[in-house]
Amino acid sequence: MPSPYRALFASPGTKGFTAAGLLGRMPLSMMGIGVVTMVSQITGRYGLAGALSATIALSAAVAGPQVSRLVDQYGQRRVLRPATLFTVAAAAGLLFAAHYGWPDWVLFLCSAGVGCTPSVGAMTRARWAALYRGTPHLHTAYSFESVVDEICFIFGPIISIGLSTAWFPEAGPLLAACFLAAGVFLLTAQWATEPVPHPREHHGGGRRSALRSPGLRVLVGTFVATGAIFGAVDVVTVAFADERGEKAAASVVLAVYAAGSCVAGIVFGLLRFAGAPERRWLLGVCGMAVSMIPLLLVGNLPFLAVALFVAGLSIAPTMITTMSLIEEHVPRAQLTEGMTWVSTGLAVGVALGSSVSGWVIDAAGADAGYGVPAVSGAVAVAVGFLGYRRLRRPVAQRGGAHEQRSERDDEHEERSVA
């Protein structure tokens, strides 16, 4: 491993929370696609499968930021363990409901519970920020975290789809739930690297949401459209492979998509940039949008794999730059919540992309389904350009509880009440 990455692990405990974070993050790439595979195998209804995946994502959009806000206030150990137990119980209910053919409303209810999954990636990034804030190591750390995300997306779909198609339909989501439980409990057992909570930090007399930041709202809005790309690509690729009699190959194709992002993330972490990060971010969003166009033209799985590898090259650099922008636009005491809001934007987008692409597939076939990520990419670019000016106004923050400034209050610096 190149020396900048080796230097990250000089601090005690970093290897431990990284390993736990990898394990706990596997459901990020396994649960949604596992539910799609499971339900489509059991019922043959891609519309229902996409809607359930969308329900999980929408539930995560509602519950995720609230869980992370509690983490910022009370600490990871006190919040993550009960949240994980609830999620695992809901996942068990979903598997039983699917296996025994219970009514659809039970499937949706359990899927909503699964959406309470904690954002493990935000938890590990918060630990890196606590260790390396203000140093060049933090850029490398965020790059490494992006690579870990992509490792999950390389192997997660292969494991989830492979188990569900080769063993029994519920196998993929079942293993995802086991990974979540093991990863979270291992992570929360490591106290030494846990960020200090801020239980008494208030803003303007009451604890405000990190989403009050105009810059964060731009990031979240753009990533709703970006998430729609990811959700649609997952569902459409499974259907595309299924139409050609090679459903299990979808996991390999999606792994190639993640591999492109992984390669780009490794290289990006070795570079140092002097320019404004918002420009790199907007360029990355444009790259993701343009890379969706070739998917409309492919006719077989090998060409699809090549097109997705190229498309993946813009993902990790954009995500890494996003994490840097979050640090500039939210107070330090709300960093975990701010990161989770971006994940929430992605989750909402995944929900929309999964659901809409499922309906398109049922109505017109998988080839037409690739129009959904292409349109989503165009929307992401539009939102990014419209909100670009707000990203150029970062919130100055050196302490733990500085008041965020709205655009109309930019000329007046406010101090928070501790």
**DSSP conformation class of 397:** -
Structure confidence by residue, pLDDT tens digits, 254-287: 888 888 888 888 888 777 776 678 888 899 999 9
pTM of the model: 0.71
Structure confidence by residue, pLDDT tens digits, 196-255: 877 754 444 445 666 677 778 888 899 899 989 988 898 888 888 888 888 778 878 888
Average pLDDT of the residues in 71-89: 89
Two tokens, residue 4: 């900048």
pLDDT score for 84: 93
Of 42-51, 113-122, 385-394, highest mean pLDDT: 113-122
Domain regions of the chain by residue span = 13-189+211-396
φ and ψ of 17, to 5 deg: -75, -25
Give the side-chain half-sphere CA count within 13 A for 206: 3
pLDDT over threshold 50, residue 95:
yes
The Cα 101–Cα 6 span in angstroms is: 50
The Cα 154–Cα 21 span in angstroms is: 16
Give the homologous superfamily in CATH for domain 13-189+211-396.
MFS general substrate transporter like domains (1.20.1250.20)
In order, the DSSP letters of 3-60 are HHHHHHTTSTTHHHHHHHHHHHHHHHHHHHHHHHHHHHHHH--HHHHHHHHHHHHHHH
Two tokens, residue 235: 């569902």
φ and ψ of 340, to 5 deg: -70, -30
In the block, tokens 């009960």 appear at: 82
pLDDT over threshold 60, residue 414:
no
Structure confidence by residue, pLDDT tens digits, 7-26: 878 888 888 999 999 999 88
Of 71-75, 288-292, 349-353, 401-405, highest mean pLDDT: 288-292
182: pLDDT confidence band, cut at 50, 70 and 90?
very high
